[in-house]
Amino acid sequence: MSGLFPFQRFSRTYRHLGRMRRILTVLFRNGFGFMFDKLRGLVPDSKFTGNWEELASSPVSLPERLRNVMSELGPTFVKAGQILAGRPDLIPHEYAEEFAKLQDQAPPFAFEIVRQIIEKELGAELEELFCEFDEEPISAASIAQGHRAKLHDGSEVFVKVRRPEIESTIKADLEILGFLADYLEKQNPEMRIWRPVKVVEEFSRRIEEELDLDLELANIECFARQFKGREGLLVPKVWPKLSSSMVLTMQFIRGCKATNLEELSKYDIDPLKVSRLGAELLLEQFFMHGFFHSDPHPGNIFFLPDNKICYVDFGQVGRVSAKERETFAGLLGCALRRNFRKAARLLLELVEYEQDPELEALERDLETFTDHYLYRAIEDIKTQSVLHEFYRLCTRHRIGLKPHIYLMLKAMGELDMLGRRLDPGFNIIRQLRPFLYRIFLRGLSPVKKGGHMLEHYEEIQDFLRLIPKQQKNFWQQCLNGKLLFNCRHLGLDRLEDFLKYGLDRICIALIQAGLLIASAVVIHANHPPMLFGLPLLALIGIGCSLILFVLMYLDMVRRR
């Protein structure tokens, strides 16, 4: 997403000119027009007023204005706000809190369209596939809606159907968002601290995963293999032959949804047991398997009789490598041993950043952060508060957690809140300790150490094997005069823009001078036709020159 106006994105974006105008109109109406000064020609009725100071002093806060913009622009932007609400390490905390108010609700689409999609995707009549199919959806969101149905063998299923045309709509919006993010970073240096391009990339990746129901089916199958035979967990059964990229058929779950905890007694469920079981299952996903359900909020968890747990909605999953698990455990161990220098280095392995952060300042902040919680009783520590303070630390140092690391911490925070609702004495930190000890002891295992040494040996072997070939290529390029060096001069973007703009002005000035000289020659020649006693051609030349001068002067005044 680099470059001011990359030709390919520019042409793709302007295929959706109508949608682009709609987005810019809403931004201008909500006071953000000054950020898109050069694009206001696409919104003819807009007025260019305001600046950062005026916007900040408005009675309506900036986060609230942005939330209103997202609500008005529809499903893609609502989804973007919801995803960003869960990334307080990428955006300021007050924005995350405001975006969390966005509701992913959409009117259901007609049953006839549902029938058409299912029959087209699965290649058979609806009645051949299902003996019962409820026309009224159980749920409807911006990307898909779900219906209860029954198969001919008596199995009760939940059929998730993606909205028609939603993929093309979202892709068009993503192209426009990418273009606008690029524009903001280049034209508004003060916006770079918010990393708009990075934010759009994160959102695009997440929403593209949700669009593919085939991927969700694969996630459920992977989860089922991972926990095969695990007591206390039910993984919904799926029917691959009745599923596609637009349709997902899975087991219909009847139980107590975690959003309705008052119904636990109805299903004879022990809240203390399921709270502990939920923590164990989640931590097993993180530290034993490295593949986890990344959105375990109460709406995606069911409690079943015999104190079982069932996850639904596997559109978002995360993967953590063995190395990252060891690094995370090492980070916590170093913080507890007060070795903040090593803790800072380990933290940098789990984050992304554009400029190297100041290591000493990061060490001091980690020490302050650790001292804030180290000597408290576990019962007094709220995981959500710890995470929010940690995200603020990351924001201060302009470092963003790797997406899967953030999803892991977010899932822990959500489960801790649910666990406390089930059991006031619950704390996921207490459950975390055995898993961290296990990872630490596994790292000390001679077999593990030997495996690491073997990996290093193989890497050295590969490196030594490549040296002769690389040296040969290097010297061949030198002798043939084909050796190229890629140089990148940082901080020259504004100078380049200034030079381009200056050259444009010089060209216009030369055209003006040429028109005036040509007009003077025509006047001297007194060449007909005449108007007001002067040659008409000369008057036209002088008029064009005057118009160019006025336009250039107004542009200079506006820029200043």
**Positions marked catalytic:** 295
> Which neighbouring-strand residues pair with 352?
400
Residue 492, burial from CB neighbour count under 10 angstroms (0-12, 13-18, 19+): exposed
The Cα–Cα gap between 140 and 105 comes to 7
Which is it for the CA torsion 358, 363, 365, 369, positive or negative? Answer: positive
Q: What is the number of other CB atoms lying within 10 angstroms of the CB of residue 237?
A: 14
Which phi and psi (to 5°) does residue 259 adopt?
-85, -10
Q: What does the H/E/C string look like for 353-380?
A: CCCCCCHHHHHHHHHHHHHHHHCCCHHH
Are 251 and 280 a contacting pair, CB within 8 Å?
no
CA distance 15 to 358: 44
**What are the structure tokens assigned to 194, written together?**
């918010």
Give CA–CA dist 408/292, Å, rounded.
Answer: 8
Please report, as a single letter, which amino acid is at residue 310.
Answer: C
Rounded CA-CA distance 13/180 in Å is 10
Give the DSSP letter string of 531-556: ETTEEHHHHHHHHHHHHHHHHHHHHH
Cis peptide preceding 75, ω within 30 of 0:
no
DSSP secondary structure string for all residues of 249-286 = EEEPP-SEETT-GGGTGGGT--HHHHHHHHHHHHHHII
Q: Locate 169 and state its tokens.
A: 């709509």
Euclidean distance between CA atoms 299 and 417, whole angstroms: 13
Query: Which one-letter DSSP state was computed for residue 308?
Result: E
Count CA atoms closer than 13 A to 11's CA, side-chain side.
2
Vertex 480 angle, CA 475 and 482, to 5°: 85
Q: Where are the alpha helices (DSSP H) in 16-136?
A: 17-29, 52-56, 62-73, 75-85, 93-99, 111-122, 126-129
Residue 193 corresponds to which tokens in the numbers above?
A: 């601290």
Which among 357, 412, 320, 353 is positioned nearest to 89, based on CA atoms? 353
Mapping DSSP onto H, E and C, the string for 282-301 reads HHHHHHHHCEEECCCCHHHE
User: Residue 65 — φ and ψ, nearest 5°?
Assistant: -60, -45
Sequence-distant (6+) residues with CB within 8 A of 470 are none
The secondary structure of residue 138, as a DSSP letter, is S
